[in-house]
Amino acid sequence: MHRPVPEVDPELGPVDEDGFPREGPLSYDQADLALVLGSSLRHHRDQARLDWHLELNERVDFLDAQGQKRWVFPDLYVVVGLRQQHRRGPLRTWVVRRHPNVAFEFATAGSLAEDRGEKREKYRALGVDEYFLFDVDGVDIPGQLQAWRLDEGGEYQPIPRLASGRFHSRPLDLELAVVPERLAPGGAALRAFCPGTVSPLPTEREAEGLRVLQEKDAALQESGAALQEKDAALDAARARIEALEAALRKQGGAEPT
C-alpha cells in the first residue's frame, strides 16, 4: 500500500517521495559553470570509453559510521569504475557499492560556509577521495579554487598545486584549473585538462562545433583538390592542343617532295 509522504517536512523542508530532502535548484551562474565542467568530463568519458558515472545536482545517499542514512547534494560528482546509470534519481551507495570519487561544489556567497563546513564533512564521512571547491564570484577563495584529498587516516588535506598552478586529480587522471571566462560572474570558469596539455577538454557543444568546422575544412580541401585536378587536366589539354597545332603548322609548311 502506498504511504503518502508530506511534501514539506517540519525539520527537513521540501522532501521527495521517499521522505528525503529536496535540494533547491542551483543559481544560473552555478548551473552554467557546473554544466561546462560536467559536459567536458562527460565528452572525455565517452571519447575515452571510461566507466564513469557522472551527475549534476543529484542526491547521494549513504550510511554513516553508525549505520544511519545520510545524504548530500553535490553540484557535480564522478564515480570511477561505475558505468553511467541512465535512470535518474539518487545514488544509493549501499546498493551500487560505490561512492563518488570526486565531488565539485560551485560556491556563492550564500553557500560558501556550508560548502566549507557541513558539506565537506559529509564528503569526508562518505569517503569522497577528492573535493574541489570553486568560488563562483571570485572574491572569497584566493585563486578561486580550493582542493582537498583524503589521507590514509580519512582526513582531508589540501592538494598541492602543480608547477603549472593546476591541481591534479588522481581518480580522474586530469588536471583542474581556473581559466578566464568573459561571461562568467567572477570572470573565470573551472576546466579540466589532460596532463601536460594546453587546451581544456572541450564540452560536448564545443566538440560538435569543432567537428563541424573540421568537416567544412575537409570539404574545402577536397574542393580545392578537385579544382587543382581540373586545372591540371586543363593545362594538360592545352598542352596537347598546342602540340597538335605546332604539328599541323609544321606539316602545312613542309615542302613537297
pLDDT in tens, 74-109: 999 999 999 887 667 899 999 999 999 999 999 998
Query: Per the structure block, which three cell numbers stand in for 41?
Result: 568530463
Query: 66 — phi, psi (to 5°)?
Result: -95, 5
Q: Which comes out higher in pLDDT, residue 180 or 234? A: 180
| The three three-digit cell numbers of residue 18, written as one number | 521517499
Half-sphere exposure of 238 (CA within 13 A, CB side): 6
Residue 22: pLDDT band (50, 70, 90) is low
- What number is the average pLDDT over the span 67-78? 93
Predicted local distance difference test score (pLDDT) of residue 184? 79
Q: Is pLDDT above 70 for 6?
A: no
Q: Is the pLDDT of residue 181 over 90?
A: no
Strand pairing category for 130-135 and 145-150: antiparallel
- What is the chain's length? 257
Please indicate whether residue 158 or residue 85 has the higher confidence score (pLDDT): 158
Q: Residue 253: which pLDDT band, with cuts at 50, 70 and 90?
A: low
Which residue's C-alpha cell is 589539354? 237
The dihedral built from the CA positions of residue 120, 123, 129 and 133, taken in this order, carries a sign that is negative
Higher-confidence residue: 157 or 83? 157
What is the rounded distance in angstroms from the CA atom of residue 19 to the CA atom of residue 252?
105
What is the predicted pLDDT for the residue at 218?
65
Q: What pTM value is reported for the model?
A: 0.75
Using pLDDT thresholds of 50, 70 and 90, give the confidence band for residue 190. Answer: very high
Q: How far apart are CA 204 and CA 182, in angstroms?
A: 20
Tell me how far apart the alpha carbons of residues 93 and 99 are, in angstroms, rounded to a whole number.
6
What are the backbone angles phi and psi of residue 96, rounded to the nearest 5°? Answer: -85, -10
